[in-house]
Amino acid sequence: MAINFTMWIFDIVGVPNREDDISSLLNTNYLGLCTDGTVAATNVRWAASGDVIAPAKYDAVVFLISNPKASLTPLIGGNATRAVKKDTVRGLTTLGATGGGLAEVYWDRCYNLNSVASSIFHEAAHLKSGKDDAMHNTPGVSILSERGGFDFPTWEDLDFFSAAIKRPITLRRRVPV
């Protein structure tokens, strides 16, 4: 079985014409390096806040929002207090919610486009693996560690994400209201 993985990004913040740049970074430096005998291809697709998407069971969905005060997490019964209080948190993933987990990245907390791409990759890894903070302690990871902030993933980051892609999950098809 060959998996064609799509990273769906809901652009809630209204990225100023940088979708192609972020997609290129994700495909070149992250997702494209996660292909193997099972994961045949990867791509990135963008959705607007009012869209309803149709992700496949092996895909990931990440919401790009302005900052933690605009978090979607409370809309699904979660809590974004940790992200609001700690200004180094660039994203948050809530697992186990009805209708699927929710991964969000904060545009205002990312310092360049690679920071956006690495944060999307990081939060999608939480979502796809089903692991909360325990993911940060995986030996050898850098992008997936709590400190993050690295320009390129390690082989361990890529191996972790490749394995996570193969885990089917329930995905959100629209922005929670």
Tens of pLDDT, residue by residue over 131-169, are 999 999 999 999 999 876 667 899 999 999 999 999 999
Structural domain contains residue 173: no
Tens of pLDDT, residue by residue over 79-94, are: 999 999 999 999 999 9
Q: What is the pTM of this model?
A: 0.96
| Number of domain units in the chain | 1
Q: Look up the domain containing 104 and give its range.
A: 3-165
Domain for residue 160, yes or no? Answer: yes
Over residues 18-25, the mean pLDDT reads 95
Task: Show the DSSP H helices in 57-136 as ranges.
Answer: 81-85, 113-129
Side-by-side strand order, sheet with 60-65: 39-48, 3-11, 60-65, 102-106, 91-94
CATH of the domain at 99: 3.40.390
